[in-house]
A and B are shown apart, each in its own frame.
Chain A
């Protein structure tokens, strides 16, 4: 033993013990109390397939090479196991069809972690031009 515990030591210990007994637990009782989440929290990437123009910018700027945009097949594929949730794709998307959800994505069931979405965006038809080059009235 390294010396006797001083009276002050007992006071200190009693103070800590009483504080611990009286206060709430430091840990959250998950899932009874939901985990903390802020407006900026990065959970997983979500795509609005009705707005994606298949430009492929997200694929080019993804540092983890987790995204694949197939213009021919009109699909947007994300590898949830490769994605590092860095927010890069969301920043570069010109039509803002990608968003970041605060919650983590659910457990990946597919062996590869791939999730494929079919892009439903239809390019609006341009108004036909008449012979003089002026756009025809709708």
Chain B
């Protein structure tokens, strides 16, 4: 039996855009155990809820994450609206859905790029990010911000999208979809990619369920949990099925995300077609008094914002649980038994967002 050694991975590592530290216990080249340590970029954003008015905190909530910022803002707003019994206009629900799906597109394309980069496929990385520019341009044209949109508010949305612009957006999706098909061909059928992904970092369905995996990590292992099916925003009126794969390896997680890209395009088209007319916001009267668990589906999985108000203009408690945190136990399970050279790819396959996780 060979000697066990510990190799530190991170917090600074070429493959990690954000800091997380993993102590890899190795036996030869095989990882036999992993000890994760987190907490490098805790910013105390939840505490700020007591110092900012509940209508202004949405700007802070949005800045929890630099990728799925819109969904953070939306989940916070939904929570406050539920506490205050606010019924927001249908058009606001649809606009929120459209921006959420564009956020998903840009997040998944960002991840595909990083994933390709982790495998050393520079060209594919650049092509993924070139496609992502199209999504960012749409977000900037409609909200004013590329990654921090700032278009969601308690009681609705801040900006409307004209019908002409909506039609143009749906039209532009055609060429985007064609280019995306070419890109997904490479991700799903390229031999060298398959050799790096198939059978690597396998997570069984039972493990995924028991360890509380969320989002594409759970769906890649066959657990068909998608919070959008609970019907928040306009999702109750749109048709879609959660993308699932059964293999539970890195390839399956990549395939789930690629299928979700196409499903997002379809959801945007449906939302544009059935977009109702009318107001985009309601006036907010009174102060939030009560508590609520607001849940939504981020690109990485289930996001929970717990909010508690006491009838004043400041909420007393906010607790954010992000999907990356729930995926860390699954990551430890996936890494056990893998080769050292596969660690970067497996770590990236859960789409870690450390900024979100540590808030």
Contact = CB atoms under 8 A, between A and B. Distances in A.
Interface stretch (A82-90, A112-120, A129-137): A82-90
In which size bucket is the chain B interface?
20 to 34
In which size bucket is the chain A interface?
10 to 19
Contacts of A38: 140-141, 144
A61 B144 contact: no
Nearest to B142: A40
A88 B52 CA distance: 13
B195 interface: yes
A86 B59 CA distance: 7
A2 interface: yes
Interface in A13-60: 26, 36, 38, 40-42
A63 B52 contact: yes
B130 A26 contact: yes
A41 B59 contact: no
B143 A2 contact: no
A2 B191 contact: yes
A26 to B, nearest CB: 5
Contacts of B158: 87, 91
A3 interface: yes
Interface string A67-80: 00000000000000
B230 interface: no
Nearest to B182: A16
Given A2-B192, A61-B53, A63-B52, A88 B59 contact: yes
Given A63-B57, A86-B150, A87-B150, A42 B130 contact: no
B87 interface: no
Nearest to A15: B182
Interface of B: 52-53, 56-57, 59-60, 63, 130, 133, 137, 140-145, 148, 150, 158-159, 191-192, 195
25 contacts: A2-B191, A26-B130, A36-B140, A38-B141, A40-B140, A40-B142, A40-B143, A40-B144, A40-B159, A42-B150, A61-B53, A63-B52, A63-B57, A63-B59, A63-B60, A84-B63, A84-B148, A86-B59, A86-B148, A86-B150, A87-B144, A87-B158, A88-B56, A91-B158, A100-B144
Q: Sorted from nearest, which 4 A-B pairs have the closest CB atoms?
A: A40-B144, A63-B59, A2-B191, A86-B59
